[in-house]
Amino acid sequence: MQFSLSIATAILAATASALPILEIRQTVGTTANEFTSGGCKDVVLLYARGTSQSGNMGEEPGPALGNALKTRLGAARVAVQGVSYSASLLGNLNPGGAPASEATSFRTLIGQVASQCPNARIVVSGYSQGGALVHRAVEGTTAAVSARIAAGVTFGDTQKQQDGGRIPGIDASKSLIICNTGDRVCEGTLIITSAHSGYGARVGEAVDFIAARV
């Protein structure tokens, strides 16, 4: 009996070790090209990283936003696409807070999604200079393309004060600018303080806002 119990225990242990380990894995990192490489989904998130951040999504809060949106809406329904632009320090000094040529490229990308994915809900988002890029790209879209944007969310937005606390070119009800208390870039300056970081902790607010509009 003791021998049989030992065998049974060994079999159970072996079986357990052979079972797949189920865990939640991040699907969005510092680079995401799910629209350009995979095409349309129900929701397409276009995200512009902050100054000097890596890849086309950056370290924070872009990947966290993409992953949280997939968790909320279902990964199969969401395509996350980072916006390729220089994100240089000097880019902040341009009129409107971002280079005009790169805003044009972002605007073209928005138009491509609108054209190629007629049933998709488009979400635009960005952090810091990426937020400014959202402003400058969206404000120049046609009325038809603008109407396809379901939500615009920015974090630590360098153009919040300059543009009256909203993203030009889309209805105010679709626009959310998230700023930490004490983040001076949200007050119309380019003074960076510790309050300009930590926006990953506020991704939940953005996801709630987006989910209610897509």
Residue 86 annotated among the catalytic residues of the structure: no
Residue 163 annotated among the catalytic residues of the structure: no
Catalytic residue among 135, 146, 157, 183: 183
pTM of the model: 0.87
Q: Order the strands of the 149-155 sheet from edge to edge.
A: 78-82, 43-48, 121-127, 149-155, 175-178
Give the closest residue to 211 by CA, choosing from 77, 86, 82.
77
Question: Does the domain spanning 30-211 belong to CATH 3.30.1490.20?
Answer: no
State the pLDDT at residue 53: 97
Catalytic residue among 125, 128, 146, 175: 128
Ranges of H-type helices in 94-181: 100-116, 129-138, 143-146
Give the closest residue to 89 by CA, choosing from 128, 46, 47.
128
pLDDT tens for 96-139 read 999 999 999 999 999 999 999 999 999 999 999 999 999 999 99
Residue 183 annotated among the catalytic residues of the structure: yes
184: three-class secondary structure by DSSP: helix
